[in-house]
Amino acid sequence: MSKLVPPHGGKGLVCCLLHGKELEAEKEKAATLKTIPISGRENGDLIMMGIGGFSPLNGFMPKADWKGVCENFLLTDGTFWPVPVTLSCSKEDADGIHKGDEIALQNAGGEIMATMQISEKYEMTEADKKWECEKVYKGKGEESEGDNFWKIAPEDHPGVIMVMNQKDYNLAGPVKVLSEGDFPERFAGTYMTPAQSRAHFDERGWSKVAALQLRNPMHRSHEFLAKIACEVCDGVFIHSLVGSLKPGDIPAEVRIECINKLIDGYFVKDHILQGGYPLDMRYAGPREALLHATFRQNYGVNRMIIGRDHAGVGDFYGLFDAQDIFDEIPKPDDPAKRLLTEPLKIDWTFYCFKCDGMASLRTCPHGKEDRVVLSGTKLRKALSESADIPDHFGREEVLVILRKYYEGLTEKVEIKMQSHAEATTMK
């Protein structure tokens, strides 16, 4: 009997991925259906619905769910959900689609990823998209204050750009997923479904599992966060995003190699496990922290490590907004509909020369001048400019891998620094 936290929503793992004869029959049918192109984000969302990562969702959201999630963090049935999961469609395509129709969903690589039965189509005006952005992506940081958000976000916030570039209509309805794409082969040994991660945890006898979200190379601060969690949980799931990122971020293959090097040299392997999941980043800051906790519940995780500026971008979010939001979300009367994965809130961490080790604002009494402030953005910027990396920023074995990657780049993207990364907001 598993001791892990149950999947979100009270329906077990809701998996829309077909197998065997049912899969082959649906593929044949898909070849006869009207084809709708999907974005990278929608492709990742489909796979997560396929493997149960987005339980209890079984399709893209109708307008009432879209509105309820944006406004109140709730689906219409009262289940907690933190971000919209929607499918956009051009007006030209939408004009030929009606309730009850079946369509095929094709990704940018030309693969038919799913079929979908239409339950609703609804227009998304520019005002609707802006409302979604303000509800989901606007934070409490400097770049969200006053009129700053709409002066800065349309050019600098990748999540806002993504929403504003969506097409004119959303399509809603249940899906039948036909493929996991190339993730199982491309990231063999790392990519996992929720059923697989739960099996690993059960095999190890874990009941209290923490997850560390990663989209940057794993530096000393990440390592410290994971080791704190190892002290209070049975094990830590280093769970990396292997979907698409914004320009200038480091590819998943490189990050996975770095994590493996750290696990081999600096962790007790009985208490650590690396995995990967197929989503694109939304860069939604606090809302995305909630999404990370929600789908980690489906993976069997009951503690989500939330540190400084989780899933942030630029200075759109306050330093610890992603921690505070867990105290502000609704808690439905039905426990199965609540978010059961709790945050493991950890203060700003850094290397302190006077403490002679890793520390946090809660444990270190010294000043900024004694500290090496660790940031994935700061590390990427230094590497991209071939600058020196300060002592104690990262493990040398990892820096060797990262330097080799950057030396091989023919085009480099300018990395914009955040005030958090520069430590201008540190006490």
- For the question of residue 198 being annotated catalytic, the response is no
Residue 4's SS3 state is coil
Out of 41, 43, 107, 215, the active site residue is 215
**Cβ atoms 371, 351 nearer than 8 A:** yes
Quickly tell me which residue has 């709409």 as its tokens.
150
Using CA atoms, how far apart are residues 324 and 128, in angstroms rounded to an integer? 27
Residue 120's SS3 state is strand
- For the question of residue 215 being annotated catalytic, the response is yes
Using CA atoms, how far apart are residues 228 and 405, in angstroms rounded to an integer? 29
Using CA atoms, how far apart are residues 11 and 17, in angstroms rounded to an integer? 16
Out of 43, 107, 170, 216, the active site residue is 216
- Annotated active-site positions, please? 215-216
